Structure 1
């Protein structure tokens, strides 16, 4: 997911996407624990996407207050 795509989302869409990624991260952790994970790089991608969404959501909230 690109930062430009995240910037274009509304706050509600950001929350939905964050929930989806958290659920995927949870499932990936289980796959790692049971040695069923095939694409190990997906764990890193999801973690970074979560951080990107949280950062941009915080920036939008700060702009709304200012």
Structure 2
């Protein structure tokens, strides 16, 4: 999801998206630990998406 789309969402929607990404990140980490993860790049993509949402959240809360 692009940052432009994230800016249009409310704080509640961003928090929901953040929680789902954190759960997905946990699942990916568990798969990587048990050597079941095929696409290791998914961890990096998820981590960056989490950072993107946290950045936008901090901008919205600071306003």
TM-score, length of structure 1 as denominator length: 0.93
RMSD: 0.5
Largest Rg, 1 or 2: 1
Question: Residues of 1 paired with 2:55 and 2:13: CA distance?
Answer: 14
Q: Give, in angstroms, the shift of residue 5 of structure 1.
A: 1.1
Give the TM-score, by structure 2 length.
0.97
Q: What is the deviation of 1:33?
A: 0.3
Matched, 1:11 2:11: yes
Aligned to 1:48: 48
Instruction: Kindly report structure 1 stretches of 4+ aligned residues shifted beyond 4 Å.
Output: none
Unmatched runs of 5 consecutive residues or more in structure 2: none
Structure 1 segment 31-42 matched on structure 2, within 5 A: 31-42=31-42
CA distance in 1, matches of 2:14, 2:47: 15
Count of aligned pairs between the two proteins = 63
